[in-house]
Structure 1
Amino acid sequence: MSADKVFHSRSEGIPSEGVKDQYADGKAARAWNKFIGDSHQRTQNYKDFLIGRLRRHGCERVLDTACGTGIDSMMLVEEGFKMVSIDASDKMLKHALKARWEKRKNHKYDEWIIEEANWETLPRDIQSFLPDSQFDAVICLGNSFAHLLDEYGDQRMQKMCLRNFAECLKPGGLLFIDHRNYDAMIEHGATPGHSIYYNCKYPVDIKTSVLVVRGKPELVALDYCIDGANDDDNERSDFRLCYYPHKLDTFTRMLDEAFDYRAKHQIFADFKPIDQVSVPGFYIHVMEKDSM
């Protein structure tokens, strides 16, 4: 189902096969930088969780499949990882490319690869600019995967994309992928308010709308309002993003299936053991691909 049939995503354009670019007008991309805040102010729990696991697993080469403005990739470049960063939105990539240019005197950024690519054709796209490549780790974080809606009603495209992520991993490699707590949104009609990724300095309000079709939640629209009244631009930013509401149990099964039920699968709640957080904002899945 297309988001535009029920909600206006406040964007136009399709950047590549099959994926709606909700950042195409540039407005959401600019506002997203404000929402993220200082690139050096990622939440410590997030940095410790991701970087710690990558290092303990001996990961060096990492594919960021939803790099957006480049914020997570830059964090990992600074930590010495060899990054390949892709996104389907050229408007978001412009921010990442600008960030790399601004860091051009820092040798750590010399090998940072930034390219446009699509999850639905991901292995082929990567082969076009980096032949015969597999990665120690693949990340798809910040609720990015939920941007891919269920056009056919059976999640076939989402399942295919998860398989593509698995294909890009070396044997024994790690996939980090997350989604918001849509179970709570569906039940209560509200988004858990705390952020586990960003330290935004502005007041942020998120209005939640859940579309239910024939008794089944089909889409969630989040209206972000970022009050920048005290900033230099004195601007209030409003933008809407539409997501597929992945339920925890269903998404867990899809991931296991994508790895042919042979991967080690761990689930965390806001980067903590799942039993330690009663109503998490996010669920984070870590898949370890079979080494055979």
Structure 2
Amino acid sequence: MAADKVFHSRSEGIPSEGVKDQYADGKAARVWKKFIGDSNERTQNYKNFLIGLLRKNGCESVLDIACGTGIDSMMLVEEGFKVVSVDASDKMLKHALKARWDRRKDPKYDEWIIEEANWETLPRDVSSFLPGKLFDAVICLGNSFAHLLDDDGDQRGQKMCLRNFAQCLKPGGLLFIDHRNYDAMINSGATPGHSIYYNCKYPVDIKTSVLVVRGKPELVTLDYCIDAGEHNEKSEFRLCYYPHTLKKFTSMLEEAFDARAKHEIYADFKPLNQVSTPGFYIHVMEKAKQ
């Protein structure tokens, strides 16, 4: 079910092929930068979690497949990783490209590759500029995967994309992928309020709507309102997501790796049993070595 069949989003647009670009009008891309906050103040427990696991597993090359404005990619570049950043939204990539240009005198940024790519054709797209390249790690974080809706009603497109992610990994490589706690949203109609990724310095209100079709949750819309406090300025935008439940998403991930991957699940970067109602679930898949 495509988002524009149900809601007329404030951020409409279609990229050249495949995944819908909800940032295509440029407005949400600009406001999103305000929402995520200063890249130099990235949530410390997130940074420690991601970089700690990458280093623990000897990862050097990282493919950021939902790089957006480049905030996570820059964090990894600063830490010495070899980063390739892709996104389906050229409006979001514009901010990443500018960030790289602004740091052009810093040698760490010389090898940072930024290209447009689509999850539905990801291995082919990456091979077009890096033939035969496989990565130590692939990251798809910040609730990015939930942007991909279910047009066919059986999640076949989502399953195909997860297989594409696995295909871009070296044997033994890691996939980091997350989603919001949609179980809580479905049950309560509200979004868990605390943030583990973002450092917005302004008050943020998120209105949550859940669309249920024939008894099945099909779509979640989040209406963001950021009060910048400057001349009564308020920034509003809407994003639509597929409501992945933890049980079903776990099953799809394991299927994408042919039930041969090591699978760890974290709640807000802590062990799953330590957080009763997390804002996010983070999955770490280790691809089989043979």
Task: State if a TM-score over 0.5 links the two structures.
Answer: yes
CA contact (8 A) 1:225 1:239 kept: yes
How far apart in 2 are the matches of 1:279 and 1:95? 33
Equivalent residue number for residue 80 of structure 1: 80
Equivalent residue number for residue 263 of structure 2: 265
User: How many pairs were matched up?
Assistant: 290
CA contact (8 A) 1:16 1:118 kept: no
Equivalent residue number for residue 237 of structure 2: 239
Equivalent residue number for residue 28 of structure 2: 28
Runs of 4+ in structure 1 off by over 3 angstroms are none
Look up the equivalent residue of 1:266 and give its one-letter code.
E
In the TM superposition, residue 16 of structure 1 has moved relative to its aligned partner by 2.9
Equivalent residue number for residue 93 of structure 1: 93
Look up the equivalent residue of 2:93 and give its one-letter code.
L
CA contact (8 A) 2:149 2:241 kept: yes
In the TM superposition, residue 12 of structure 1 has moved relative to its aligned partner by 3.0
SS at match of 1:40: helix
In the TM superposition, residue 126 of structure 1 has moved relative to its aligned partner by 0.4
Unmatched 5+ stretches in structure 2: none
* Residues 188-199 of structure 1 aligned to structure 2 (within 5 Å): 188-199=188-199
- Once the two structures are overlaid, the 10-residue window that deviates more, 169-178 or 221-230, is 221-230
CA contact (8 A) 1:211 1:219 kept: yes
SS at match of 2:40: coil
TM-score scaled to structure 2, two decimals?
0.99
How far apart in 2 are the matches of 1:163 and 1:151? 18
What RMSD in Å do the two structures reach over aligned CA positions? 0.8
Equivalent residue number for residue 138 of structure 2: 138
Identity %: 83
Equivalent residue number for residue 46 of structure 2: 46
Equivalent residue number for residue 187 of structure 2: 187
How far apart in 2 are the matches of 1:249 and 1:12? 30
Equivalent residue number for residue 173 of structure 1: 173
Look up the equivalent residue of 2:248 and give its one-letter code.
T
CA contact (8 A) 1:146 1:246 kept: yes
Equivalent residue number for residue 216 of structure 1: 216
Equivalent residue number for residue 284 of structure 1: 282
Equivalent residue number for residue 249 of structure 1: 247
TM-score scaled to structure 1, two decimals?
0.98
How far apart in 2 are the matches of 1:34 and 1:169? 32
In the TM superposition, residue 177 of structure 1 has moved relative to its aligned partner by 0.1
How far apart in 1 are the matches of 2:142 and 2:278? 14
In the TM superposition, residue 234 of structure 1 has moved relative to its aligned partner by 5.7
